Amino acid sequence: MSVKLEKVVKDIEKTKARVNTARETLKSLEEQRDELEKVELVHTLRTLKMRPADLKVFIENIKTQTNVTVPAENRVIQPEAGQNPEIIYREVEDEE
């Protein structure tokens, strides 16, 4: 093998190793985010100081209400396939 080819092969191997490390880091960070979101949700629910049965009714009522307003900064909208997420957020902001 030529020196240039060997160098390119080694660079490819190094890059693959960095990509794998980055994927592992990303997975770990996503797991941390999910766990922190769960903790925050539980904390928020506990501050309501409701009995579990009352909390269940409360959540069901929220689900069935059609006029519940969610502040724009808290809205999560999933873009459709091929749709630019930035456009969706601009549309939500424009609604207000």
pLDDT tens string 23-55: 999 999 999 999 999 999 888 888 878 888 888
Residue 88 burial (10 A CB sphere; 0-12, 13-18, 19+): middle
Confidence class for position 96, pLDDT limits 50, 70, 90: very low
pLDDT tens string 1-16: 899 999 999 999 999 9
Q: What percentage of the chain has pLDDT greater than the value 70?
A: 68
**Residue 47's pLDDT is what?**
85
Query: Domain-by-domain residue ranges, the chain?
Result: 3-65, 70-96
Q: Of residues 69 and 44, which shows the higher confidence score?
A: 44
* Dihedral sign for Cα atoms in the order 56, 44, 73, 68: positive
